[in-house]
Amino acid sequence: MTRKNPPKASKSKPQGTSRPKKSPSKGPIVVKLFIQLSLVGACLLFFWLIYLNAIVREGFEGRRFKIPARAYSEAQELYVGASISQASFISLLQQLGYRAADEAFQAGRYSVRGATVTVFTRGFKFWDGVERAGKIRLQFNAEGITGLNAANGEALLLTRLDPLYLGQIYPGLTEDRVLYSLDTIPERLVLGLVLVEDERFFQHWGISFRGIARALFANLASGQASQGGSTLTNQLVKNMYLSSEKTLTRKLNEALMSIVMELHYSKNDILETYMNEVYMGQQGARSINGFGLGAEFYFGTTLEGLQIHQQAMLIGLIKGPSYYNPRRHPDRARQRRDTILSVWLSQGLISQAEYQRAKAAPLDIANKPRQTNYPAFMDALRRQLASDYRTDDLLAEGLTIFTTLDPLAQTIAEQQVAEILPQTERRYGLAADGLEGAAVLTRPSTGDILALVGGREPRVAGFNRALDAKRPVGSLMKPAVYLAALEQGYTLADPVNDAEVTIAAGDGTFWQPKNYDRVSHGQPMLVDALAKSYNQATARLGMELGLIGVFDVIARLGVSDSIPLVPSVMLGAHGMSPMEVAQMYQTISGNGFYSELNAIRAVSHPQLGVIQRYDLKVSKRFSPESIYLLQAALHEATVTGTSASIQRLLPSHWWAAGKTGTTDDNRDAWFSGFTGDRQLVVWVGRDDNQTTPLTGASGALPIWIEIMARLQPVQERRGLPRSVIHRDVNDAGIAVPNWCDQARSLPFISGTEPPESLSCEEQDNIPATEKLKWWQKLFG
């Protein structure tokens, strides 16, 4: 083959003469090369665009809908007769970020004149309806609200404040925003933004060649990339996908992605996302995004409530939230605001008069809002949510969680735990900061968890004692024994033997419970054995009833743990958390009906509306009669028993019931009780489980009393079951005439009332029919 080549080569020689002709063909090669390169380039660009397209779409849609669940407290109900003091009301307003002013001129402001408070409420979309923003006037006296009127003087029957924002469910996420849809954002704010940031927003395709040209010129002139020709779309792309470095590549990507974004989404979608997305400031680790939260963060009001100068300030901020931070650099911020105002004036968005007024207005920035921080409650909330929702949904779906937390009650509970523990330490000569405490406040009628204190430093998220400190409950378990007795036909007047007792524990050892005062009290009545918390009498009673009966009652009260079937459990040798105790006592305060304790009222979805409500569920566990008698005995404890200081320290017309608990060597001090529609469990002890000199009455009860004194629960009418009657009895439990000195009235289930005697001193508490006749005694 190679040999044949030379002739061919010689043949081609003559063609060599045409070589000069080849030089003009260089052009096509370059063109060809150019076309080839362009094709490769276009190909690369095409694939690059596909890549960017994926990023844009995923980011845009993901970001728009990936919003972590936000939790809110219960809202304060306002009506004539509501027992909230003026001082508490004002402190609640402040907690909610309302600002005091001479006149409540915009949403989020209030004014006080004597006993009258005028509030411009912010309004809120609740799960059960919308509460509109508006001005209301409230009158107070010592009891609570005595007058409630709308701005026009019309009487209002019922309204409520917006709830307190508790935070995102998972605090690891730092971006925070309040979503607004474009049609709910004030028009001037939207137009004002477009005018200032991107005048041709509604004309361009995502990039502005004029802007780029201007920026290019400026950058070339200065020799560095310092200016950008950003459209709103560019800014959104930059915020959402790109770093803040100023390179040509980034700029190119930004332009391409902007075009892609404009291809996929409408101008309105882009504008709405921008207004909810834009970075507006920082509070610690929390980044303030979007105009809605910006209005709240800087002015304590809603987007709808913003005045012109406030709108201008927010829009001015976008250029540099840190540089123009009105709290740190008020002069700079004001200049920026005024620039915005003059642009608006020149573009005809505002009138000359509006401009003058707005320009003359001070910056009027609110104090930095306090960040609510209730780690113990949020912990309980997360645990409840975890059983019903997937973490992904809680992170992404933008759910709103309406909780049962009562901010006023929570503040009171936290303060009292934090104040009383040091007092107790001083009084008993204990090392400072050695004691810890926990409290669970609930509403018996519904099982709502109103407040939760997980330790004496309630802001520190750490060991949540209210949920996780499982400590022996001591005498808090006793009501179960007495309830079992009442169910089995015992009466409150029946004598119980309080002599020393030795019980075989079943494993070869013996259990010898002793009374706290190391004294036996003879034959006290059942009611007193519980009210005075006698261990020996309770152990004997429990053994008489049988462990199975007592444990059945414990389970029905709502203690779900598997408890070892040993006698010492009757005196509380079983570890429970304050929350579990609250669940157990809920059944007692709930008149024998079990309701699961609950931290959530409802969950709503931004598009689907309310997706779940936690409505009232009750389930009967005990007869109303038995529970009535048990409540009476627990009430006796607060009058003459171990918690008699309640009677002394709280208003005498209050009806309270409760039980102290003290464990071996005073390691744990408990009190669990209820009054009105409030139940509170308090635990005090040491984290290292060392001994203290405290009892339930000296360690936990003072906290209970102080919290209740401040909560002022409305005292309720108490129902009396039809078959319950009252009899006057003496100390031996004999029905005696009511003029006897020691006569006291006790409730009995009809048919079980004690034998009657005409003698006040009658001691023989045995029904006449069972008494031995004289001849039986003689020969018996």
Number of residues that bind another protein (CB under 8 A): 47
Q: Which of residues 551-590 bind another protein (CB under 8 A)?
A: 590
Please choose, out of 219-227, 235-243, 275-283, 622-630, the segment that lies near another protein by the rule CB under 8 A: 622-630
Please choose, out of 177-185, 300-308, 487-495, 618-626, the segment that lies near another protein by the rule CB under 8 A: 618-626
Among 331, 507, 615, 741, binds another protein (CB under 8 A): 615
- Structure letter (DSSP) for residue 360: H
The answer to whether residue 422 forms part of the interface with another protein (CB under 8 A) is: no
Shortest CB 409 distance to another protein, Å: 13
Q: Measured between alpha carbons, how far is 109 from 98 in angstroms, rounded to an integer? A: 5
The answer to whether residue 677 forms part of the interface with another protein (CB under 8 A) is: yes
Among 59, 624, 693, 755, binds another protein (CB under 8 A): 624
Burial 74-96, CB ≥16 within 10 A → b, else e: bbbebebebebbbebbbebbebb
Q: Measured between alpha carbons, how far is 662 from 474 in angstroms, rounded to an integer? A: 5
Shortest CB 155 distance to another protein, Å: 4
Beta strands 109-113; 99-100: pairing state: parallel
Q: Give backbone dihedrals phi and psi of 624, rounded to 5 degrees, phi first.
A: -55, -35
The answer to whether residue 146 forms part of the interface with another protein (CB under 8 A) is: yes
The answer to whether residue 143 forms part of the interface with another protein (CB under 8 A) is: yes
Q: Measured between alpha carbons, how far is 740 from 728 in angstroms, rounded to an integer? A: 9
Shortest CB 643 distance to another protein, Å: 23
Q: Which of residues 156-195 bind another protein (CB under 8 A)?
A: 156-159
Q: Is residue 549 within 8 Å of 581, Cβ to Cβ?
A: no
Cβ proximity to another protein: between 177 and 635 the closer is 635
Shortest CB 593 distance to another protein, Å: 5
Shortest CB 358 distance to another protein, Å: 32
Q: Is 596 a catalytic residue?
A: no
Cβ proximity to another protein: between 79 and 209 the closer is 79
Tokens of 504: 């075989």
The answer to whether residue 608 forms part of the interface with another protein (CB under 8 A) is: no
Shortest CB 745 distance to another protein, Å: 17
DSSP 3-state assignment of 771?
A: coil
Among 345, 618, 639, 644, binds another protein (CB under 8 A): 618
Shortest CB 524 distance to another protein, Å: 28
Q: Which of residues 244-263 bind another protein (CB under 8 A)?
A: none
- C-alpha dihedral (331, 333, 337, 343), degrees to nearest 10: 90
Q: Is 197 a catalytic residue?
A: yes
Q: Measured between alpha carbons, how far is 130 from 531 in angstroms, rounded to an integer? A: 48
Nearest CA to 711 out of 682, 671, 680, 683 is that of 680
Q: Which of 73, 208, 258, 475 is catalytic?
A: 475
Cβ proximity to another protein: between 87 and 157 the closer is 157
Tokens of 669: 């001090």
Place of tokens 């609200």: 145
Cβ proximity to another protein: between 80 and 430 the closer is 80
Among 76, 591, 643, 663, binds another protein (CB under 8 A): 591
Beta bridge partners of 495: 525
The answer to whether residue 750 forms part of the interface with another protein (CB under 8 A) is: no
Among 68, 108, 144, 192, binds another protein (CB under 8 A): 144
What type of residue is 381? L
Shortest CB 720 distance to another protein, Å: 5
The answer to whether residue 620 forms part of the interface with another protein (CB under 8 A) is: yes
The answer to whether residue 411 forms part of the interface with another protein (CB under 8 A) is: no
The answer to whether residue 444 forms part of the interface with another protein (CB under 8 A) is: yes
Q: Which of residues 715-744 bind another protein (CB under 8 A)?
A: 716-722
Beta strands 175-176; 619-620: pairing state: unpaired
Among 1, 114, 154, 779, binds another protein (CB under 8 A): 154
Nearest CA to 506 out of 569, 570, 571, 565 is that of 565
Cβ proximity to another protein: between 144 and 167 the closer is 144
Binding mask 332-371 for another protein (x = CB under 8 A): ----------------------------------------
What type of residue is 329? H
What type of residue is 4? K
Shortest CB 438 distance to another protein, Å: 25
Q: Give backbone dihedrals phi and psi of 610, rounded to 5 degrees, phi first.
A: -65, 120
Among 167, 474, 567, 592, binds another protein (CB under 8 A): 592
The answer to whether residue 674 forms part of the interface with another protein (CB under 8 A) is: no
Tokens of 339: 């620039």
Q: Which of residues 37-76 bind another protein (CB under 8 A)?
A: none
Please choose, out of 217-225, 469-477, 534-542, 709-717, the segment that lies near another protein by the rule CB under 8 A: 709-717
> Residues 305, 308, 313, 319: is their CA dihedral positive or negative?
positive
Q: What is the DSSP track for 497-530?
A: --S---EE-SSS-EE----TTS---SS-BHHHHH
What type of residue is 339? T
Cβ proximity to another protein: between 275 and 451 the closer is 451
Cβ proximity to another protein: between 653 and 722 the closer is 722
Cα–Cα distance list, 295 to 279, 305, 321, 355, 377 (Å): 12, 9, 13, 20, 27
3-state helix, strand, coil in the chain (%, to 5): 45, 20, 40
Q: Which of 91, 175, 197, 544 is catalytic?
A: 197
Q: Is 270 exposed, middle or buried (0-12, 13-18, 19+ CB in 10 A)?
A: buried
> Residues 730, 736, 742, 748: is their CA dihedral positive or negative?
positive
H helices, E strands: number in the chain: 26, 30
Residues forming the site for another protein (CB under 8 A)? 77, 79-82, 127-129, 143-144, 146-147, 150, 154-159, 443-446, 448, 590-593, 613, 615-620, 624, 627-628, 677, 714, 716-722
Catalytic residues: 197, 475
